[in-house]
Structures are given as C-alpha cells and as structure tokens.
Amino acid sequence: MHKFLIRSFVSSLVLLFTLTVAAIAKDVKAAFVYIGPTGDHGWTYQHDVGRKAVEAAGFKTTYVEGVPESADAERVLRQLANSGHDIIFTTSFGYMNPTNKVAKEFPNVKFEHATGYKREHPNVSTYAARFYEGRTILGTIAGTMTKSNVIGYVASFPIPEVIRGINSFTLAAQKVNPNIKTKIVWAFTWYDPGKEAEAAKALIDQGADVIAQHTDSTAIVQMAEKAGVYAFGQASDMDKFAPKAVLTSVENNWGPYYVDRVKAVANGTWNQKDTWHGIGDGMVVISGLDSQMPSDLQAKVKKLQADLASGKVHSFTGPIYDQKGNLMVAEGKTADDGMLAGMMTYVKGVEGDIPK
Amino acid sequence: MIKIVKRDQPSRAIFFFTPVLAIFLTLVAGGLIFFILGFKPFEALKFFFIVPIADKYGFSELLLKATPLCLIAIGLSFCFKSNNWNIGAEGQLTFGAIVSGGVALLFYEQEGFYILPIVILAGAIGGMLYASIPAILKTYFNTNEILVSLMLVYVSKLILDYLVVGPWSNPEGFNFPETRQFSDSAKLPLLFEGLRIHAGIFLALAAVVISWFVFYKTYLGFQMKVSGFSLKTAKYAGYKGKKMIILVFLISGACAGLAGVGEITGPIGQLHREISPDYGFTAIIVAFLGRLNPVGIIFASLVVAITYLGAETAQIFMQIPKYTGQVFQGMILFFLLASDYLLFFKFKFIGSKK
C-alpha cells in the first residue's frame, strides 16, 4: 500500500513536471519585425507565411509591419524585447545595427537578423538563404526558352547578394546557350511597382524576351504578361499574377527555419549561429513549372534541382571568368562562401558595369 | 432654425480652439474606425495614446520623436507665415544630413570637442543650400516653389542613395548601403543614461524661442505677417520681397537640416538610405496644427509624435495594423482644415417666428 502511494505520488509528480515543462515550453513568444506590409506578395509576405508556420506549431507570435530602418527600428525592437517576447526575428538588412544594440541590453532575449553579418553578442544569430541556387535554375530555363538570346534582369542594389544572383543566373544560362547576353537595369529599390515596371519595359524594348528580377513587386511579371514575354516570380509564387508569363518562381521559405529556432528557444537549445540555407534545406523552393516549358527542359530542371540540393552541382563551378577574361574560379573548383559573400564583379556575358 | 452667417472678422478664440476640436474629432473618428475593424475602441485608444508614454522611457521616446518634427515645423512656419510654400523640408533634411554626415565621416575615429559643432553647422548649411534652390528659382525665375521644393526631395534621396551605395559606403561593410559609424565626438550627447533622448532637443527649444522673438518682436516678423495676409499690401508698403523670400527659405532649410543632423548624429549614428520616416512631410501637419505659432507647434509636435509611437504599440499589443498611425495623421489635418470653416462662418440660432 505504502509503495503504491509513493509510486503514484512520484508518478504524479513526474506527470506534473512534464506538464509544467510542456506548458513553459509552449509559452515561448516570438516576434517579427517587417520592413513592408504583409500584403506585398514578396519579401515581407513570405516572412509572414513563416510566422504563421510558427503559430501553427503552437507558439504565440507578434509582428510589427512597415518598420522603417530609421531611428524607429530600435524603439520597436526594445518594446518587443520588453514585452515578454523570447525571440525576435528582424527581417531586413537595415535592422542590423539596432538589432545588435538592443540585443546587448536584453541578454535573455534571442535575436535573429536576416541577411546581415554582425553578431556582436551571444544572443544574436544571422540567417539568409542561398537564393543564387534558385537563380541557377532560372538561368537554365531562361537560356533554353529565349529566342532573341537577350535576357533582361531588373536588379535592386549593387550589393554582393544581387551581383551573385546575376552571375549565377548568367552562368547557368550560358551553359545551355553560349550565345546569350544578360542586360541589367538597376532600379535602386527593393519595392516600387512603378519603377520596376518601367525597368522591365526598358528591357523588353531592348529585345529581351525573358525577364528576371531581384525586386519584390509583381509589377514586372505583369508587365511581361502584357508584352508577351516570359518572366520569373520573386520571393513568392507569382503565377496567379501573370499565368502566361511566369515560368516558375523562386520562393523564400522561412517557415521551417523559424519553427526550428523558436523550438530551440523552448527546449533551451538555442545557440548563436550563422545560417545560409539553400534548396537542400528547403529555404529556397522552386514553384511548379509552367506547362509551356518542353518536357525535356522540365526533366532537366527537376534533375538540376535535385543535384543542387544534394550538393552534386554547385552554382559557381569553374572555370569562371570575369568580364575582362580574368579567371575567377579555376576549372574543377567551386567558389567558397567567403568569395560568394563578397562577390562584386560580373562574370563574362553580363553586359555593362556595376554602378559605383 | 439655424443659419450660417459669415463672420465680420475671423474669430481669434476659434483660431486656437479648432486644433483642439480637430484632435477631439480625430479621436472620435479613430475610435469609430477601431470599432468597425472589430477592436474595442477605448482599449485601442488607450494603447494608441496612453500606453506608449506611460513610463519614463516611453516619454523620452516621445520627446525624441517630437524633436525633429518641432524643429522642421518651426522652420516651415517662417515660410508659411509669409506665403512661401516650402513643401521640400524632407529634401532639406536629407541634404543637411548628407553634408553633416560627410563632415562626420571626415572625422572618422577622431576625437575632439570641436568636431560636433562643425558637424552641426555643416548640417544647417546643407539644409540652407538646398532650400536656396527653390527660393532663388522663385525670386529670379518666377518658378513655383511647391513643385521645385517637392521634386528636390526625390533628388536628395537619390544623392543619398548614390553616396551610401557607392563612395561613402563602409569599406568593411560588404558593400551594403550604409556608411561607417560616426565617432563619439561627432555624436550628440545623450541626456540620460539608458534613454535615447539627446542634446538635439535644445536645438528645437532654441528654435522655438528664437522664432517667437522674430515673429512677434522684429521688423522681419512684421513683414512676414503682412506678406502672409496680402502680397499686394506688402508691395505697396515697399517691402523688398525677394530678400525676405530667400531669408525665410534659408531659415526653413537650416531647421530641416538640423533635424537631419539630430537623427544621424543622435539615434542612428551613421548615414544609410532611410534616415527619416518622412519627418519633412509630417512636419507640415505639425506646423498647421500648431497654427504656425511656436508654442502651438510644441504641442502639435507632441500630438503627432504620439501617433507614431501609438501605432507601434497598438500593433504589438492588439494587432492593429501599424498604418493606422498615418490614418490618424491624415485625419488630424482633415478635421483641422474642415473646422477652419468655423473661423470665417458662424452658426446663428434664429427663433422661429410665425
């Protein structure tokens, strides 16, 4: 009888303990700071899809949208850290310094900064996606589908992220079609439907029959639809905005990473790291392929996708030459992450100069 | 029966009462919007207007936010009082920040008491230079200052983009669009440990005092007032209009430039693409809400500043879209302009006679 009592007492204690731990674990609150509105169908929209995945995993979330990268960012971050949030995702480059500053004041709150490089305190991690892998796929499709051999590319800002995308796109297109030229128009914006549409129009007028973009709005694919040329969706699946023009989209899939990191906080296993995930880890996703693409191209793309995921194929495999013909990556070698992170030269086949 | 009658003279009491009425109507309409959106109106208004400034930190943030608004609005009131429609304070702010930021970068990793005054002065000069463009074009080429000053806003932002992406970008910054961090000697001192409120607030207060003196105690202030009422009268009185136009634009530009200095040498500490969430435009609302009166502008800048803070708090705690802050700013201006009707007209109650 005694034993039974003790046993049941102990087991109920254990049960109580597990319940409490579970309850505490579920109490983790995550916050997200967005640069744009959640309805932009691009960058912020995809981060918000990721946030919803965290909600679906049973955690509470908060978000603040349209936070300018001015002095306001710091206040929003401090308020979130102060109001019971355990992990805060700051989803734009310009939040880098405020994130590190506020992180110093709140050592118990975890901070995750997207696309930055500063981790000044042990509670700051950084994360980004290898979008260039997606652009290898887009380049392969563009090089095959073009008839004019002129491919247009609407770029945002001359930073390594964007240059890397242009290069990986061009290299892949050259591989299937050595005659192609990539024409770039710099829009100097991440999100400005008017400017983006103008840039796309300028490229179409110059004979481009496939348009790629590194800006976030749907204006470019819509312009392509009107002009009867092909285009690719950016950040989210933009097929519904231009069903004839969009051949596929490169989607930013933050959900799995966000759920993973919030769970890590709940389990007490969160640690500082710098994450750079690609197709293999599911952070970069290729949307469904359009039926206008010939079936052999579709098969080729599927295989390339699998090879990029497994690491069998690398987007930057030598020999790679720059515009002047200097060797950037030797034959049989691949570009390392350091080179990719600081990439500020065009590869051969890209037209024009990087704005300085 | 109620009859609407034109007033013989604009009512002075109504002149200062309508801003209060406009704020009240904004609160009522705002509560109604919250109700329609499915939020509890009183709770939402509490999170919007009370919670953000309920503690010391919140109040310091309010002052931090109101400082640039007040400074720019004071400058704008010089222009608006004298019938000069400077809509480009945002550009003058940006250009002032560019010049002062450039000077601050020259002193990178240098220390010295003389650095900050030079940096501040550079910002004021930058703002003045930029404001002189619409002023000179207006006085000598008869261009419309509204268009010129507004278009120059976009030019200044493109110049800033160019500089932070290209020649001024941080050499250790992986080509991201930002400059190096300024040295401590080039930054405005903080007033309290742990709070962001900085010495820039004294610039705003100085502007308030000086503008009050100029408006009500000097010949220039009188000239501005007469020109504001009637340009023809000013001409008959023999005022040299051109000189005054250029002067008010320069003052306005200096104030906007100083506001830019306050942002980059205060809470931001570097130049990057987004140094102002459109303070230069919001300050137009502040100037009118404050009735172009220096003391009125202090209160108006606090009221408008709180719409920024409240929008953040309301989104964090109640998931109310943050853009409602801008809706509030728009409503304040709307109700103010609408209630200005009362300045010139009054309702007369007439007993029905049979």
- pLDDT digits over A140-178, tens only? 999 999 999 999 999 998 888 899 999 999 999 999 999
Percent of residues, chain A, with pLDDT higher than 90 = 78
pLDDT tens sequence across B277-295: 999 999 999 999 999 999 9
User: A65 to chain B, minimum CA–CA distance in Å?
Assistant: 6
Measure the CA–CA gap between B88 and B39, rounded to whole angstroms: 37
Task: List chain B residues with CB under 8 Å of A37.
Answer: 323
A274–B contact, CB cutoff 8 A: no
Report the side by side order of strands in the sheet with A210-213.
A181-186, A150-155, A210-213, A230-235, A246-252, A284-286
Exposed, middle or buried, A82 (CB in 10 Å: 0-12/13-18/19+)? middle
Confidence class for position A51, pLDDT limits 50, 70, 90: very high
Of A31, A71, A341, the CB nearest to B268: A71
Contact of B207 with B255, CB cutoff 8 Å: yes
The first and second tokens of residue A86, run together, are: 């355990």
pLDDT of residue A21 exceeding 50, the answer is no
What does the domain layout of chain A look like in residue ranges? 23-129+254-277, 131-251+316-341
Q: What is the pLDDT of residues B140-164, one digit of tens each?
A: 999 999 999 999 999 999 999 999 9
Is 80 exceeded by the pLDDT of residue A26?
no
A272 vs chain B: nearest CA distance in angstroms? 21
User: Is residue A269 over pLDDT 80?
Assistant: yes
Question: Averaged over A91-115, what is the pLDDT?
Answer: 94
The pLDDT, as a whole number, for residue A22 is 47
Q: How confident is the model at residue A16 (pLDDT cuts 50, 70, 90)?
A: low
Q: How far apart are CA A187 and CA B280, in angstroms?
A: 24
The mean predicted confidence, pLDDT, of chain A is 91
Q: With contacts defined as CB-CB under 8 Å, which chain A residues touch B323?
A: 37, 65-66
pLDDT of residue B238: 77
Range 206-265 of B in CB contact (< 8 A) with A: 263
Whether the predicted pLDDT of A1 surpasses 70:
no
CA atoms of B72 and B75, how far apart (whole Å): 5
CATH of segment(s) A23-129+254-277: 3.40.50.2300
- State both tokens at B345: 């007209």
pLDDT score, position B352: 58
**What is the value of ipTM here, to two decimals?**
0.85
pLDDT at residue A12 tops 80: no
Hey, do A23-129+254-277 and A131-251+316-341 end up sharing a CATH topology, with the first three levels equal?
yes
Provide the residue type at A235 as one letter. Answer: A
Strands (E), chain B: 2-6, 345-349
Torsional sign, CA A289, A295, A298, A302? positive
Q: Using pLDDT thresholds of 50, 70 and 90, give the confidence band for residue A307.
A: very high
For the beta carbon of residue B314, count every other beta carbon within 10 angstroms: 27
Q: For B279-309, give the DSSP string.
A: HHHHHHHHHHHTTT-HHHHHHHHHHHHHHHH
The pLDDT averaged over each successive group of 10 residues in chain B (354 residues) is: 79 84 93 92 92 92 96 97 94 98 94 95 98 95 95 96 90 85 92 91 96 93 86 79 91 98 95 93 95 94 94 91 90 89 80 56
Cβ atoms of B109 and B183 within 8 Å: the answer is yes
Q: Is the pLDDT of residue A213 over 60?
A: yes
Q: What is the CATH number of domain B2-346?
A: 1.10.3470
Name the minimum distance, in Å, from the CA of A147 to any CA of chain B. 35
Chain A positions in Cβ-Cβ contact with residue B193 (cut-off 8 Å): none
Which of 2.130.10.10, 3.40.50.2300, 2.40.110.10, 3.40.190.10 would CATH assign to domain A131-251+316-341?
3.40.50.2300
Residue of A nearest to B314 (CA): A64
For the cut 60, the answer to whether the pLDDT of residue A222 exceeds it is: yes
Q: Name the more confident of A254 and A191.
A: A254
Who among B176, B316, B321 is closest to A80 (CB)?
Answer: B316
Q: Which residues of A touch B312 (CB under 8 A)?
A: 64, 67, 72, 75-76, 79
- The pLDDT assigned to A4 comes to 56
Closest CA to A212 of A247, A263, A252: A247
Give this prediction's pTM: 0.86
Nearest to B61 among A75, A97, A158 (CB): A75
Mean pLDDT on A285-308: 94
The tens digit of pLDDT for each residue in A113-139 reads 999 889 999 999 999 999 999 999 999
